[in-house]
């Protein structure tokens, strides 16, 4: 039987976001330790994480006030810990599969819709401002657009053969690449809402998650549509 520390070292991802590396994956390693000798499968953990996220969404919509908000985001973060644990359990057992990865991706995207919709409904119920309903619908549309185009881009018919794996250390980045990397890193953080939704809940301002998440997904949707236009909107002979 492996220790929690051994499980973490054997199953962690490199590189990884700070929230995952220092908080969620160490907690997930404890979950994996508890499940290691059980018949529970990684796919069952994935579905369990989805169920917990459903509970979080219901709490966010139906339990008003600060404590309802805090409970909702804490339950959601528990779901995210399970979401980390499923892949770690698969890697520990040596049963990681493409099907499991696709199931995990599917559940993650459905959870993103649920949490955004639940938060938008909560903001509307607390303020009675119809603007929040419009923003939520718009947010769900741009989120769906980004996911749909990303899935389309990854199709083998579109992506083509993967590039050969590079050998040796990666080339050093230029100054321009490093400068561009700063806003890209911020955007990556905002897309990964488990890293900060807990903080928005802790200070009682769930809009600190809502607005940035809408903006970054709107920008990504615009980028995705632009890619479609460039790839498929050219005249013959271009």
DSSP class per residue in 45-68 = HHHHHHHHHHHHHHHHHHS-HHHH
The angle formed by the CA atoms of residues 41, 42 and 44, to the nearest 5 degrees, is 65
Domain coordinates in residue numbering, the chain: 4-161+169-232
The per-residue pLDDT for range 74-91, each reduced to its tens digit, is 999 999 999 999 999 999
Q: Does domain 4-161+169-232 have CATH number 3.90.1150.10?
A: no
As a whole number of angstroms, the distance between CA 137 and CA 10 comes to: 41
Rounded mean pLDDT, 111-140? 98
- How much is the pTM? 0.90
CB atoms within 10 A of CB 173: 11
Instruction: Supply the pLDDT for residue 170.
Output: 60
As a whole number of angstroms, the distance between CA 173 and CA 186 comes to: 18
**117 alpha carbon, distance to own chain's centre:** 15
Residue 16, pLDDT > 90, answer no
Rounded mean pLDDT, 169-191? 72
Band of residue 175 on the pLDDT scale cut at 50, 70, 90: low
Residue 165, pLDDT > 80, answer no
| H-assigned helices in the chain | 4-11, 18-19, 25-35, 42-62, 65-93, 98-127, 130-154, 156-159, 175-191, 197-202, 207-232
- Select the highest-mean-pLDDT range: 34-38, 162-166, 183-187: 34-38
Instruction: Supply the pLDDT for residue 177.
Output: 65
Instruction: Supply the pLDDT for residue 33.
Output: 96
The lowest-confidence range among 27-36, 45-54, 150-159 is: 150-159
Per the model's pLDDT, the better-predicted residue between 3 and 236 turns out to be: 3
As a whole number of angstroms, the distance between CA 54 and CA 75 comes to: 9
As a whole number of angstroms, the distance between CA 43 and CA 46 comes to: 5
């Amino acid at each position: 039987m492996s220790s929690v520390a051994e499980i973490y070292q054997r199953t962690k991802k490199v590189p990884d976001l700070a929230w995952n590396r220092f908080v969620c994956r160490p907690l997930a390693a404890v979950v994996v330790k508890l499940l290691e000798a059980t018949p529970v499968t990684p796919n069952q953990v994935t579905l369990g994480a989805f169920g917990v996220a459903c509970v979080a969404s219901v709490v966010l919509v139906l339990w008003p006030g600060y404590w309802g908000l805090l409970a909702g985001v804490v339950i959601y973060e528990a779901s995210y810990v399970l979401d980390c644990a499923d892949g770690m359990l698969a890697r520990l057992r040596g049963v990681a599969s493409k099907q499991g990865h696709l199931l995990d991706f599917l559940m993650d995207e459905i959870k993103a819709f649920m949490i955004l919709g639940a938060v938008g409904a909560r903001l509307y119920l607390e303020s009675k401002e119809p603007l929040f309903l419009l923003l939520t619908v718009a947010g769900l549309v741009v989120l769906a657009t980004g996911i749909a185009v990303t899935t389309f881009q990854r199709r083998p018919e579109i992506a083509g053969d993967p590039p050969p794996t590079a050998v040796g250390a990666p080339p050093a980045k230029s100054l321009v690449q490093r400068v561009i990397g700063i806003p890209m890193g911020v955007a990556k953080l905002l897309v990964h809402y488990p890293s900060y939704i807990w903080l928005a809940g802790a200070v009682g301002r769930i809009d600190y998650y809502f607005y940035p998440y809408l903006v970054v997904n709107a920008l990504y949707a615009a980028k995705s549509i632009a890619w479609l236009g460039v790839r498929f909107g050219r005249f013959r002979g271009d």
